[in-house]
Each structure stands twice: as structure tokens, then as C-alpha cells.
Amino acid sequence: MKRKEFLKKTALSYTLLQVPLRAEGTTKEDSKSDPSKESPWAEADDLADLRELLVNLQSDPEGIKLSGNWSAGKVFAHCAQSIEYSLKGYPEMKSAIFRGSVGKVAFSIFAFKNKMSHGLEEPIPGGEDISNATEVKVGIKRLIQAIDDFSKTKESSLRPHFAYGELTKEEYDVAHSLHIKNHMERVLG
């Protein structure tokens, strides 16, 4: 299934669920003041595109600076950790009721808007602690490896997301891509 087809189906499910969505217009002024609008990270369509950006970043990993308290190395390792947990299982799960209702709706909204919003300095529940001293090169390498492992994994081997529940491989690609792109909104310069 192509991404556009997936997004159309997601939009249709909103209509059926009658979930109200707030219309958000973008003005020229908004795009000028929002650097993520011009960011190559924001323009990436999927994990393959993000992997390409990460490979390119390896030549000058110290050139990336992020706002906030988490180092760039920790952010990349955190994004890798999320992908890794989709392959082996998340350490803590929200309740089945949450995953089947609020979690599914949240994922559908993120997918429909093609934009995720979450606590950018919140660790994955129950996840292994990631040091803020993680080197950028180490974080990037770990994230590239996680993307490669994900791309080789069969859909039937994927584990449920701790908040969104069961996801297809395509849905997971969307979730992981939006997660990385949300963190990359903090790129400075």
C-alpha cells in the first residue's frame, strides 16, 4: 500500500469515527518563522529517506546541534531504541484498552496530519536509560542499524507499540518516521 493510499484510508477512518480535527492553515509568515518547514528532516517521507539523511550526517556528525537538554547522541539513540523495541517488544505497555482506543486515535491523528507531537525529553516507558553523554556518531550509527534491522524484519515479527498497539509494518514506518522527524524539529541553525 502506498503512503498516499494509507493516508487516505486514515482520513476515511476519521470521518467514520467522527473525530473532530482542527483545521490548521499555514501562512507565509508561519513557514518563515518555522525552520522545520525548510528542514530536510521535515521533508523526509519515510525511514529510507531518513536513513539517507543520517548517512550523509555521518560525514560531519558534530555539525548537528539540537535545542533542549538531551544531547544529539541521546536523541538519535532514543529514536533507535524505539525502533529496536518494535522488533523485540517494549518493556512497558499501556493498557489494552488504552492501546485500542486513545492510542489508536492518537496514531491516526499523527498519521493524518503527517506530524507527531510528544514529550521530546521523555524516555520510552521502562526503557533502558540512555546517557546524555552518548556520542553523536554512536547515536547515528545505532539509529541507522535499527532502521536497517527494521527494513529486514517481516511484518509478522513486529511487536505491538506500547501506546498505539498492533501496527502493520507500513504503519510502524510512519510512526517511527514521525517520531524521528518530531525530534529533528529541534535542530538549530
pLDDT tens digit sequence for 25-71: 333 334 344 544 568 898 999 999 999 999 999 988 878 888 999 99
Give residue 60's pLDDT. 85
Give residue 59's pLDDT. 87
DSSP code at position 36: G
Cα angle for residues 72, 77, 82 (degrees, 5° grid): 130
E strands present in the chain? none
Residue found by looking up cell 529517506 in the block: 49
- Measured CA distances, 28 to 11, 39, 105, 185 (Å): 26, 16, 30, 18
Residues 90, 166 contacting (CB under 8 angstroms): no
User: Residue 154 has which C-alpha cell?
Assistant: 517481516
Which are the contacts of 80, defined by CB distance < 8 A and separation ≥ 6?
139, 142, 143, 145, 146
Mapped onto helix, strand or coil, the DSSP state of residue 92 is coil
How far apart CA 143 and CA 165 sit, in angstroms, is 22
Residues 58, 137 contacting (CB under 8 angstroms): yes
Residues 131, 74 contacting (CB under 8 angstroms): yes
Q: What is the largest distance, in Å, between two alpha-carbon atoms of the chain? A: 47
With a cut of 70, list the residues of the chain below it in pLDDT: 1-38, 189
Residues 136, 61 contacting (CB under 8 angstroms): yes
Nearest-Å Rg of the Cα atoms of the chain is 16
Residues 70, 120 contacting (CB under 8 angstroms): yes
How far apart CA 58 and CA 138 sit, in angstroms, is 10
Alpha-helical regions (H) of the chain? 3-17, 28-33, 40-43, 47-57, 72-88, 96-100, 102-113, 136-152, 169-184
Give residue 161's pLDDT. 97
